Structures are given as C-alpha cells and as structure tokens.
Copies of this chain bind each other. A is one copy, B any other.
Amino acid sequence: MPNTFGKLFSVTTWGESHGPGVGAVIDGCPPRLPIDAAEIQAELDRRRPGQSDIVTPRKEEDRVEILSGIFEGRTTGTPISLLVRNADQRPGAYDEMREKFRPSHADYTYEAKFGVRDHRGGGRSSARETVGRVAAGAIAKKILAHGVAGGGVEIRAFLTQVHDIVVPAAALEKFPSLAEVEATAVRCPDRETAARMIERIKAVRSEGDSVGGVIECRVRGVPPGLGEPVFDRLEADLAKAMLSLPATKGFEIGSGFSGTRLRGSEHNDAFETREGRVRTATNRSGGTQGGISNGEEIVFRVAFKPTATILQPQQTVDRQGAATELIGRGRHDPCVVPRAVPIVEAMTALVLVDHWMRQGAQNQVFKF
C-alpha cells in the first residue's frame, strides 16, 4: 500500500494536482475524540497557497469536507474520509508538460514506472498531495495534545536555513512558540534571520530562480518508551516520513552528520536523575536511544532541495527522447520550505500517534 502511512493510525492519501480533488482516509483513529472541521481547516490554512507574498499566488481555499467517521462532534473509531476539492483547474496551462520532461521533477520517472501519467501540474507527484497528510495530521496533533501521557505533546517545526542563510545557534536555545514561528512569512523564529531569508527569496524569485533550505523539528512531552526496534525504530520511521515528502534530500537526528566529528567521550549523553526521573545531561541523541524515545526533546532536521521549477530556459528531452528546451511556467514557490513546515509537523504527529498506539497494544496485555 504505497499510499498508506502508519500501521495502527493509518493514513491513505489520494488525489492529483488537477483532478477533481485530493483527500485522505484515516483508519484506526481511536473513538470519542472531539474534533470538528474547523480544527482540520486551521492546519490546512497553514499550508495553503497564497498566504504570503513569498509563496505561490495559486488561489485555492482548500476547504475540507468530512465524509465519514465523525458523528456529533466525536470520532467513532470508523474510517474518517476527508475531501478537498481542487478549485484552480486551468485546462491547457500544462500542455507542454504532456510531452516534455521537466528537469528534477518526477515526469520522467512516473512515465518510466507506469507507462502513463497525469501530466497536469505534476499529477500525483505534486506537493498538492500533502493536503491529505496535513488534514490527517491535524487529527493526530489533537490526540497528542490531549490523549497521550496525560496530554502535552507539542510539535514545533521551523526554518533554520534558507540557501546559505543560517539561524544562529543562540537563537534556538529555547523551544520556539507557535506564535514566534508564525510571526514571519518564512516561519523562522528568529526575526532578524527571517528578514534576511525573505529578502533572499525575493531576490532569487526576481531572477526566475529558486532556493532550498533546512527545517528543524522539535517535540517535547513525549514519554520514554515509544519506538519499535529493530526496524521500526522511532528515528527510522521519522526518517521515512520525512524522505517521503517532495523535495527532501536528507534527515538527521540529534547530533546528526556533525556528530560524526566528535569522540565518544564528547558525544555520550550522561544519565542523571532530575525532576524525579531519569534524564540525560545533554541531548546529542536527539531524544531517542536504540530506536526508543528517552523522554528528552526529540530534535531532527530535514534538508529540502531548491524548487525544481524555475522560470529560466532548461535543456531537456521529450517523450521520444529528442532534445528540447523548456521554460518553467505556472505559479510556483521560489522556496517551498516555509510551506513545508506544517507538513513536517503533520508527518511527525502521524509517526508519534502510530507509535503511541503500538505501545498501547503491549500495555493492554500485561499486568504481570
């Protein structure tokens, strides 16, 4: 089931960029959770196009309709089907894509794999598919906020880098608030850096070019014990979740790639008892050890490549393999990373709820 994520809290997304709509079915959502369309809509509004002057002006409301699984304001334990109609269908705008493969897009590989593709706006490979993920993630977030370990699991993603502009480490010492992240169009909690990022994005856009960046995601309030070695380690499932997002090229947790330059004596997180429970003095592990959460903050980073669509002529080939030239068109984000923030949070929430439920299966059984 290549379009399903999660073993117990399972989300199946469907839909193409320019078909009738996109959506998701959530199977396994526990019953009795109070939730309504407005709460899901709020997360969709965070990923919506047209929300600021540095993202695509594509005009879509992305209005969610709940088709099943919620009755009188509460989940019933049956599948929740969510539908968002596509509004912005412009027939003809994508005719060139039918024959030419856009560089560093999925046009060629979809054609190679399936022998057919919906070329309009990238079809299934469009980031529009993530609408379903964000909608499902809104429900997962509510579970985490209220249902897990007495409540209080909080997920916060934000930009730490755009092109070569990097947030200073000092600015990230404390857990950023949602307000701090949402305060800037680039979703970087450091206002000064955010301003420079915005300036850079506008500059490359004016040249018809694009840039990438890095998102950091932190989670606090996760109890020790989540994660299922040896293969379904918590960080393994987070890595898969992140690399399943369009435009991602890397994932690291805790000390990540830079940790390879430390010695064991510098890298190890000493244990201590703090606030009545076992804690680590440092957090180079990034919140998991041996694939299982240790109760510390989960910290990971995701690399996003520069947007593949650029408004400059590029060399490519057509479906017959003949050399040709292509000029990007349409309305695209010169930097997708700010809009990816709610998507990273959604996928994180899906992973955590799924693992929380898996832990429940074990807890159910034993009183021994």
Which one of B227, B238, B244, B309 lies within 8 Å of A233 (CB-CB)? B244
Query: In this complex, what residue of B is CB-closest to A263?
Result: B209
Q: Does A348 contact B (CB under 8 A)?
A: no
Please tell me if the beta carbons of A315 and B13 are within 8 angstroms of each other in the complex.
no
Which residues does chain B contribute within 8 Å of A19, judged by CB atoms? 67-68, 71
Please tell me if the beta carbons of B239 and A242 are within 8 angstroms of each other in the complex.
yes
Q: Does A118 contact B (CB under 8 A)?
A: yes
Q: Does A357 contact B (CB under 8 A)?
A: yes
Q: Does A237 contact B (CB under 8 A)?
A: yes
Please tell me if the beta carbons of B30 and A249 are within 8 angstroms of each other in the complex.
no
Q: Does A360 contact B (CB under 8 A)?
A: yes
Interface string of A329-368 (1 = CB under 8 A from B): 0000000000000000000000001001111111111111
Please tell me if the beta carbons of A294 and B260 are within 8 angstroms of each other in the complex.
no
Which residues does chain B contribute within 8 Å of A123, judged by CB atoms? 71, 76, 78
Q: Does A285 contact B (CB under 8 A)?
A: yes
Please tell me if the beta carbons of A28 and B361 are within 8 angstroms of each other in the complex.
yes
Which residues does chain B contribute within 8 Å of A20, judged by CB atoms? 65-68
Q: Closest approach, in angstroms, between the C-beta of A301 and any C-beta of chain B?
A: 8
Bound state CA distance, A261 and B268, in angstroms? 30
Q: Does A189 contact B (CB under 8 A)?
A: no
Given A114-B76, A272-B317, also A249-B146 (CB < 8 A): no
Which residues does chain B contribute within 8 Å of A271, judged by CB atoms? 101, 103, 108, 315-317
Given A213-B260, A255-B249, A264-B308, also A292-B110 (CB < 8 A): yes
Interface residue ranges of A270-312 to B (CB < 8 Å): 270-273, 277-278, 280-281, 284-286, 288-295, 303-310, 312
Q: Does A158 contact B (CB under 8 A)?
A: no
Q: Closest approach, in angstroms, between the C-beta of A315 and any C-beta of chain B?
A: 4
Q: Does A59 contact B (CB under 8 A)?
A: no
Please tell me if the beta carbons of B278 and A108 are within 8 angstroms of each other in the complex.
yes
Please tell me if the beta carbons of A129 and B230 are within 8 angstroms of each other in the complex.
yes
Which residues does chain B contribute within 8 Å of A22, judged by CB atoms? 68
A-B contact pairs, 9 of them (CB 8 A): A1-B1, A3-B27, A13-B230, A104-B289, A110-B290, A125-B291, A239-B251, A243-B251, A255-B305
Which residues does chain B contribute within 8 Å of A12, judged by CB atoms? 4, 12, 25, 27, 79
Query: In this complex, what residue of B is CB-closest to A293?
Result: B109
Interface string of A120-145 (1 = CB under 8 A from B): 00011100010000000000000100
Query: In this complex, what residue of B is CB-closest to A32?
Result: B368
Which one of B110, B235, B244, B260 lies within 8 Å of A163 (CB-CB)? B260
Which residues does chain B contribute within 8 Å of A78, judged by CB atoms? 3, 14, 16, 118, 123-124
Given A22-B68, A67-B23, A209-B263, also A104-B268 (CB < 8 A): yes
Q: Does A193 contact B (CB under 8 A)?
A: no
Q: Does A168 contact B (CB under 8 A)?
A: no
Q: Closest approach, in angstroms, between the C-beta of A367 and any C-beta of chain B?
A: 7
Please tell me if the beta carbons of A229 and B2 are within 8 angstroms of each other in the complex.
yes
Q: Does A87 contact B (CB under 8 A)?
A: no
Given A4-B231, A77-B362, A305-B255, also A317-B267 (CB < 8 A): no
